[in-house]
């Protein structure tokens, strides 16, 4: 896809990978409307010249706030990027079901609802902008889960499955479906955890390159290796990843 002149709705565009996507997409000539919750981050993004819709996407009200704030605007690309990790490790502490619910909503229900609510806008093409795109940000952990974060992995694997099926449905239509699978990235989400993280700038760069190529998947950084191992032996990929 040629990104110049495109209108892009980007959830979670006020920090981390999303903020870098917003900046780099703007450099490509796209107009980016972000969403976020935290007032200081929203103010900082607005100070950079971005339009930000305030919405908590852990429930249907947040989705509807985004949809109504976006109504009457043309839409070329929806990037479902906002997501959260969730502690759910019986070896450390009893899991918090409320927190699990929030993660299920933000990471899975909100992307699906946004796709449902915004599909008419994505399908409404003009001669000047004949194609549209949905980008769902999942994770390398959607391919094979780590033992330490079962709920997070389940949300990402479910979104991966939804994305693959949706791509099958929309094949041959004007709406292209891209799944972005980041490895561990150096953002607030992974603060104090892991090493060998890639920068959010590099992660955004690889996702945007996949958008421009019209790829089905953006396998970012080490996720390419995980994909290769998984293609050769899903059991081996699972065994390796379960150690984390
Ligand atoms: N970092 C990694 O290692 C990694 C690896 C694989 C996949 N991913 C995926 O990449 C995506 C971005 O992750 P990130 O590391 O960039 O995260 P991040 O640095 O924590 O940023 C998340 C963004 O989403 C927004 N957000 C968080 N909770 C929200 C909520 N309830 N409602 C609406 N917006 C919310 C945040 O702003 P506010 O908090 O102000 O709302 C922020 O703009 C996520 O889907 C994540 O699962 C990340």
Q: Where are the domains of the chain?
A: 7-241
Give the Cα separation of 135 and 130 in Å (integer): 17
Output the pLDDT for position 73: 86
Q: Ligand 1 centre and the CA of 12: distance in Å?
A: 6
Counting as low any pLDDT under 70, the low residues of the chain are none
What backbone phi and psi angles, to 5 degrees, belong to 223?
-65, -25
Q: Which atom of ligand 1 is nearest to the CA of 102?
A: 31
pTM of the predicted structure, to 2 decimals:
0.98
Q: Which atom of ligand 1 is nearest to the CA of 56?
A: 32
With a Cβ cut-off of 6 Å, ligand 1 is lined by: 12-18, 35-38, 41, 56-58, 81-84, 106, 137, 139, 182, 184-185, 187-190
What digits encode the pLDDT tens for the residues 75-98?
999 999 999 999 999 999 999 999
Q: Ligand 1 centre and the CA of 15: distance in Å?
A: 7
**Fold exhibited by the domain 7-241:** Rossmann fold (3.40.50)
Minimum CA distance residue for ligand 1 atom 47 = 83
Output the pLDDT for position 195: 85
DSSP assignment string, 184-221 = SBSSGGGTTS-SSPBPHHHHHHHHHHHHHHT-SEEE-T
Give the Cα separation of 79 and 121 in Å (integer): 14
**CB contact at 8 A, 166 and 134:** yes
Q: Ligand 1 centre and the CA of 19: distance in Å?
A: 10
């Amino acid at each position: 896809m040629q990104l110049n002149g495109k209108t892009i709705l980007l959830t979670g565009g006020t920090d981390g990978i999303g903020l870098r996507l917003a900046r780099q997409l703007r450099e490509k000539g796209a107009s980016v409307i972000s969403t976020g919750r935290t007032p200081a981050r929203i103010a900082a993004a607005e100070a950079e010249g971005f339009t930000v819709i305030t919405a908590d996407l852990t429930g249907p009200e947040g989705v509807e706030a985004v949809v109504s704030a976006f109504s009457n605007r043309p839409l070329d690309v929806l990037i479902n990027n906002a997501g959260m990790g969730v502690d759910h490790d019986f070896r450390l502490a009893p899991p918090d079901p409320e927190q699990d619910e929030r993660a299920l909503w933000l990471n899975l229900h909100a992307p699906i609802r946004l796709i449902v609510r915004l599909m008419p806008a994505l399908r409404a093409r003009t001669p000047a902008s004949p194609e549209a795109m949905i980008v769902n940000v999942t994770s390398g952990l959607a391919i094979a889960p780590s033992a330490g974060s079962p709920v997070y992995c389940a949300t990402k694997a479910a979104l991966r499955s939804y994305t693959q099926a949706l791509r099958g449905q929309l094949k041959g239509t004007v709406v292209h479906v891209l799944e972005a699978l980041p490895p561990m990235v150096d953002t607030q989400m992974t603060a104090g955890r892991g090493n060998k993280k890639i920068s959010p700038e590099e992660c955004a760069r690889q996702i945007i390159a996949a958008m421009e190529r019209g790829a089905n998947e953006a396998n970012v950084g080490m996720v390419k290796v995980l994909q290769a191992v998984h293609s050769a032996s899903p059991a081996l990929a699972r065994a390796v990843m379960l150690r984390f």
